[in-house]
Structure 1
Amino acid sequence: MKVQQLTSDNFKSTIEKAGKPIIVDFYADWCGPCKMVSPIMEQIAEENQHIGVFKVNVDENPTLAAEFSVMSIPTIISFKDNNMYKKIIGARPKEDILDLVR
């Protein structure tokens, strides 16, 4: 599975319909650490069909970023049962990101 882009329009419905743990990467195209995290997120999506992996461009969706108190990027947030579960800030290794859904 590929990392899918979320927007303010489809965020809530996607999270509600997922039926599995979700990881969302809040990023910006100009952000260096975000570019480091991007291939890790792609790898997680490919290797873990039981996890939904998504990303949100904070420049294009500032209201959504504000709703989840995203002040620094990358911020990676996990959701379980439609609720925010865990949150990490900054570029992190794959294991740290996977710990968000454990």
Structure 2
Amino acid sequence: MKTRYIPEAPQRAEIDATQGALLLEFGANWCGHCMAAQAPLEQAFHGHDQVAHYKVEDGPGRPLGRSFRVKLWPTLIFLRDGQEVARLVRPLKADDISAAFAQIDA
């Protein structure tokens, strides 16, 4: 599991072409809602080490977040073979995150 949002985001075409399970997490390192979501995310991530994880710093003019229509942080987008399977906005319960992982994890 990644621990810091990074400003360098992959291109949308790269995400769409990704094979297997992928978690895109949009937010900001200073965001209180993002910080609150980290403990349940860490708990739910346990046992899903094979899931690729991009922790993308989002904000105005950031094309990847806009292409996924991200409005609030954190937004977790769970993908399987480049297709969105589940989305959670401001999750606070590990069980909700685990249920989303179950939809993409093989």
TM-score by length of structure 1 reads 0.74
Judged with a 3 Å threshold, the aligned counterparts in structure 2 of structure 1 residues 90 and 14 are, in CA distance, closer, same or farther, namely same
Partner SS, residue 17 of structure 2: helix
Q: Distance in 1 between matches of 2:13 and 2:7?
A: 9
Q: What are structure 2's unaligned runs of at least 5 residues? A: none
Return closer, same or farther for 1:39/1:70 CA change in 2, 3 Å cut-off: same
Assess if the C-alpha contact under 8 Å between 2:26 and 2:74 holds in 1: yes
> Residues 81 and 73 of structure 1: is their aligned pair in 2 closer, same or farther, counting only changes over 3 Å?
same
CA distance in 1, matches of 2:86, 2:28: 20
Equivalences, count = 100
Q: C-alpha offsets along residues 49-80 of structure 1, whole Å, 9 cap, x if unaligned?
A: 23222211103872111110001111110001
Instruction: Please give the alpha-carbon distance, in whole angstroms, between the structure 1 residues aligned to 2:12 and 2:46.
Output: 21
The equivalent residue for 1:82 is 82
- Which residue does 2:67 correspond to in 1? 67
1:99 aligns with 2:99: yes
Structure 2 SS opposite 1:40: helix
Alpha-carbon distance in 2 for matches of 1:32, 1:24 = 19
Preserved contact between residue 44 and residue 95 of structure 2 (Cα < 8 Å): no
Name the aligned partner's letter for residue 26 of structure 1. Answer: F
Output one character per residue of 1:10-57: Cα deviation in whole Å (capped at 9) or x when no partner. 56436634x431122111122111001123334444532232222111
**How far apart, CA to CA, are the structure 2 residues paired with 1:71 and 1:86?**
16
Q: What code does the residue aligned with 1:65 have?
A: G
* Distance in 2 of aligned mates of 1:95 and 1:6: 29
Identity of aligned residues (%): 19
| Counterpart position of 1:13 | 14
